[in-house]
Structure 1
């Protein structure tokens, strides 16, 4: 019987073919196993275990590759194969896995979800695919590093938001189409616009209408990638006030070099601009004042021997800033040869010892004109060792002032000499008149009726008062014409001598004089006695009904001594404050209190000669206190 064209195969052939199939199957299985075992993702085949209600209650591990075994912290499949996940997972992880599998079974297609495996504290992106009603194949990709990067990025973004939000400087971010996307708290304060209102608005809302176009042009230049550096752009506050803001911006680009955003930082310089404007005005005023006062300023930087003059100083020296570059050597060359070494010496003391200088000297202009200059200088800056670095000072043309002072000095000298001579020459005829009146009164008294005797008495009394006035005028003129050089004077001894002179009136008035310790100072001793005699004498003269008490005290200030004479006398009305120290001013009639009214004028002149001032305080009826000051900066006679 025929079997077709196919020849029958022998048993051996069939056996060989079966062996080949087995080998090929073994090789395929090995290849699958190698592939399965070497997949980086965790792969697991699980069987769902259902409860009596048909709900997934647990899972059984059927197959798993090494990556999945690693998540379970085991080394061999045999350790976990056939075991349930209720034995392998924590309750929380088991609940999540069962819920994940249940959803996959319900929808009947793959489901992808993120999971956190608390066994090893790693994050996975898990894809689960239903194979049949109870088998499920899951692959999990470890995304822990990605999650860490995302978390770091989130924290960085939050930090950046906080940094921008709470920065002291106004910071703003806008999109390529000029829409505001970030607007920090400082920018809210600068504009008065809340961030919630600004974000999403066009950038142009920030600018006043008068400069909106030019401001937006600058903004677009920055967005076009043009170098912006630092630029002033005015911003309008919601109140209407325009603030001057210094802007600095940077563009944020993506990987394709496309503009993503522009960030800018602003600095409110409104007050600085106002200060600069005011400074320019003040500099102009200073320049004008220096010009009108013929006062120039200079600054000498010792570090580089750089000397700078103000514009007026060139005018004072008869020079032009276009043709003259000031240096110390050239400055000395301008000084009169007879004054040059003195100025150099004072300047050297200023540099080496820091001693402030104040000196008058002559300069010679190019046309041989001689001018008189007052120069001041002091140290303005020092280094860490205390050595001078910068010297500043002023030069003032005092030529006209010196001329006027010389004229006044000559005039005063002539007036003082005239007053002295006139007063002296009046003494002799007055003495003769008074003497003959006294003689007439003695010899002819019996021949005169009461009216004639009264007339002679008035004439004699007027002559005596005239002599007192002339004596006081002589004393007033002698304050300058016959004064002594200043020397150290003990004011305690001055008061002792004064009280010896006033011994009789002190005893007659039963006055209590309390003298506190007084200083020693530079003064004209005889004039100090005269001054204290006038002031203590007045306290005795103008005493009230209460027992007289006079207190002499003193203290000192930075540049002067203050001495006071306080009494409990009749006081002085405030209305006399302006004229009390004037010549021939009397507050009472001659019948009430004797005197010529010149004593306090003499006291004022003595105090002023000593660089001081004199004044009084009184409530008008219960005593007075007279104060006078003596300068500490007296070195010799001050008469001119």
Structure 2
């Protein structure tokens, strides 16, 4: 027995200075060896001291800390080395300890005892939990953004995809072997060479790989993806690895295509309207030229108003196509626009509406009476916002529209405030009323085209438009333009 205890004791001596608790016992659960950490732990559990030869069964059954030990030792006696994790509360905190049970055998292979190694792995478990949580959130973020990451080992031509990439490309992770050639085959034939060239340029010139292209899925569906990545090089400057991201941007690309198509349709619409109105406008202007002035004061006044309105409409039609070609607007032709001149044109266009609805338009241009931009844009903005206020007036209450200007060092602010029906405004409604064919309500006629034009023309002059509204109180449109003075 003494020889057996000496053998076990010698094995334990190698961990004398460790913080982990290590101890050994014989087949009768008698303590044969231990390190200082075990002695400290035993005292913490209410035992006065650790003595060789003490029966550990009472220790194992007395407290929560040593709870896994009796079963673990029994397994070791049956020649099975085992490890178990034990979670318990210590000083108000949850801790995790790992217990390893190793059978001791003599030279003939007979089990003579067991060595137990205990260590606190709480920090390690916490780190693993944080890592797993971080990975979970990263996977969720990829899924929400529909974006995945990839890495390409150029030497072995192996590409590692994240799970989201397999979903984007609709490939089976167990069947699809990602290589550069296999990836190229998925890319739309018309985009394939551009993709290969972009990758090659990125590698050769150490530039960012950045390209949007189409892919063709197994069922023939076409998707658009945005690829970004960068190459990495060895100590000799040779490319060895490339990594990056791929995002499904199909919805965004198709939406942009739709916008382009709408703009083209809009321009065609303007051309048709301009052509169809050109004849009647020319005839009205010609009639005003051959009219015999001075014979009837009332008729003179009527024809004068017709002439003024027709001239303003003619100028609006001439400028409308240019107003809608916002992307190609020549900002070099922008100039200071006098707001009083703008109001003269607008009053001519809205004379009938203002008179019929008994509307009042009040202007205060005392702080600044000019803005920088295209006059046709500004006239259209004033026209649509004033007309909008008239159309959305309260029943039986004449519309009052207050137009005022404010100036800062960097901006010019225009405010159009009315006393109309107003609305319960949400961020979604605020966005919608500026959309093409968006409308404030279905109570009035019209297609809601005017506010779309206002927004696009304000943005063409590098400005922004915002709206505040309260039901039964009214609405205020605020336009902020750069101060070019």
Q: Shorter chain as normaliser: what TM range?
A: 0.5 to 0.7
RMSD (Å) for aligned C-alpha atoms: 5.9
1:325 aligns with 2:174: no
1:202 aligns with 2:59: yes
Aligned positions of 1:92-103 closer than 5 A: none
1:355 aligns with 2:204: no
2:254 and 2:335 map into 1 onto residues whose CA distance is 45
* Candidates 157, 172, 179, aligned match of 1:305: 157
* Candidates 457, 462, 470, aligned match of 1:602: 457
SS at match of 2:90: coil
1:626 and 1:483 map into 2 onto residues whose CA distance is 16
Number of the residue aligned with 1:392:
243
Residue 327 of structure 1: how far off its partner (Å): 1.9
* Candidates 322, 342, 349, aligned match of 1:475: 322
Number of the residue aligned with 1:422:
273
- When residues 478 and 366 of structure 1 are mapped into structure 2, their CA distance, relative to the original with a 3 A threshold, is closer
1:217 aligns with 2:68: no
Contact 1:183/1:198 (CA < 8 Å) preserved in 2?
A: no
Contact 2:188/2:214 (CA < 8 Å) preserved in 1?
A: yes
SS at match of 2:87: strand
1:509 and 1:385 map into 2 onto residues whose CA distance is 70
1:233 and 1:582 map into 2 onto residues whose CA distance is 61
1:382 and 1:423 map into 2 onto residues whose CA distance is 61
Q: Could you give the per-residue CA deviations for residues 584-624 of structure 1, whole angstroms, max 9, x where no partner exists?
A: 9xxxxxxxxxxx996664131465xxxxx8479xxxxxx99
- When residues 434 and 240 of structure 1 are mapped into structure 2, their CA distance, relative to the original with a 3 A threshold, is farther
Residue 379 of structure 1: how far off its partner (Å): 2.3
- When residues 348 and 599 of structure 1 are mapped into structure 2, their CA distance, relative to the original with a 3 A threshold, is same
1:181 and 1:391 map into 2 onto residues whose CA distance is 53
- When residues 234 and 349 of structure 1 are mapped into structure 2, their CA distance, relative to the original with a 3 A threshold, is farther
Contact 2:97/2:118 (CA < 8 Å) preserved in 1?
A: no
Number of the residue aligned with 2:126:
271
1:440 and 1:178 map into 2 onto residues whose CA distance is 128
SS at match of 1:237: strand
Aligned positions of 1:143-162 closer than 5 A: none
Residue 299 of structure 1: how far off its partner (Å): 1.9
- Which runs of 5 or more residues in structure 2 are unaligned? 1-12, 50-57, 342-364, 383-402, 438-449, 467-477
1:172 aligns with 2:21: yes
Contact 2:22/2:117 (CA < 8 Å) preserved in 1?
A: yes
Number of the residue aligned with 1:433:
284
SS at match of 1:299: strand
1:510 and 1:280 map into 2 onto residues whose CA distance is 57
1:410 and 1:599 map into 2 onto residues whose CA distance is 20
1:259 and 1:239 map into 2 onto residues whose CA distance is 33
Number of the residue aligned with 2:195:
343
SS at match of 2:225: strand
- When residues 454 and 572 of structure 1 are mapped into structure 2, their CA distance, relative to the original with a 3 A threshold, is closer
1:273 and 1:385 map into 2 onto residues whose CA distance is 37
2:258 and 2:226 map into 1 onto residues whose CA distance is 22
Give the TM-score normalised by structure 1: 0.44
Contact 2:464/2:479 (CA < 8 Å) preserved in 1?
A: no
1:499 and 1:374 map into 2 onto residues whose CA distance is 42
Residue 300 of structure 1: how far off its partner (Å): 0.6
Residue 477 of structure 1: how far off its partner (Å): 1.5
- When residues 445 and 178 of structure 1 are mapped into structure 2, their CA distance, relative to the original with a 3 A threshold, is farther
- When residues 389 and 222 of structure 1 are mapped into structure 2, their CA distance, relative to the original with a 3 A threshold, is farther
Contact 2:85/2:98 (CA < 8 Å) preserved in 1?
A: yes
Residue 418 of structure 1: how far off its partner (Å): 0.7
1:624 and 1:321 map into 2 onto residues whose CA distance is 53
2:24 and 2:241 map into 1 onto residues whose CA distance is 52
Q: Could you give the per-residue CA deviations for residues 483-529 of structure 1, whole angstroms, max 9, x where no partner exists?
A: 57xxxxxx9xx5xx756887x99xx999899xxxxxxxxxxxxxx96
Higher RCO, Cα 8 Å, sep 6+: 2
1:259 and 1:483 map into 2 onto residues whose CA distance is 90
Number of the residue aligned with 1:227:
81
Contact 1:351/1:388 (CA < 8 Å) preserved in 2?
A: yes
Residue 260 of structure 1: how far off its partner (Å): 8.8
1:344 and 1:455 map into 2 onto residues whose CA distance is 70
- When residues 454 and 415 of structure 1 are mapped into structure 2, their CA distance, relative to the original with a 3 A threshold, is same
* Candidates 566, 577, 592, aligned match of 2:411: 566
- Which runs of 5 or more residues in structure 1 are unaligned? 1-156, 485-490, 514-527, 552-564, 585-595, 608-612, 617-622, 629-640
Contact 1:360/1:375 (CA < 8 Å) preserved in 2?
A: yes
Contact 1:511/1:550 (CA < 8 Å) preserved in 2?
A: no
Number of the residue aligned with 2:261:
410
Give the TM-score normalised by structure 2: 0.54
2:24 and 2:111 map into 1 onto residues whose CA distance is 15
Number of the residue aligned with 1:236:
88
